[in-house]
Amino acid sequence: MFSWTGAILPTGPLTLQTTYVHKRICQVDGRLWKTTEIKVVYGVWNFLSFFVIPLVIFVCCYGHIVVMRKQVRMMAGHDAQSASQAQSKRIKWNIVKTMSIVNAFFIVCWCPMNVAIIAV
pLDDT at 108: 92
Distance, in Å, from the CA atom of 68 to the CA atom of 4, rounded to the nearest integer, reads 34
Instruction: Please check whether residue 58 is in contact with residue 102, taking contact to mean a CB–CB distance below 8 angstroms.
Output: yes
Q: What is the pLDDT of residues 28-65, one digit of tens each?
A: 776 667 777 877 888 888 889 888 998 998 888 877 77
* Local structure of 80: helix, strand or coil: coil
Instruction: Please check whether residue 46 is in contact with residue 94, taking contact to mean a CB–CB distance below 8 angstroms.
Output: no
Which amino acid appears at position 10 of this protein? P
Distance, in Å, from the CA atom of 91 to the CA atom of 62, rounded to the nearest integer, reads 12
pTM exceeding 0.95: no
Dihedral-angle region of residue 33 (phi above 0 means left; psi in -120 to 50 means alpha; beta otherwise): beta
Q: SS3 for 11-51, per residue?
A: HHHHHHHHEEEECCEEEECCCCCCCHHHHHHHHHHHHHHHH
How confident is residue 8, by pLDDT bands cut at 50, 70 and 90? confident
Extents of the domains making up the chain: 35-119
Q: What is the pLDDT of residues 65-115, one digit of tens each?
A: 777 766 666 665 555 556 666 777 787 788 788 888 988 999 999 888 888
Q: What is the mean pLDDT of residues 10-33?
A: 75
pLDDT over 70 at 22, yes or no? yes
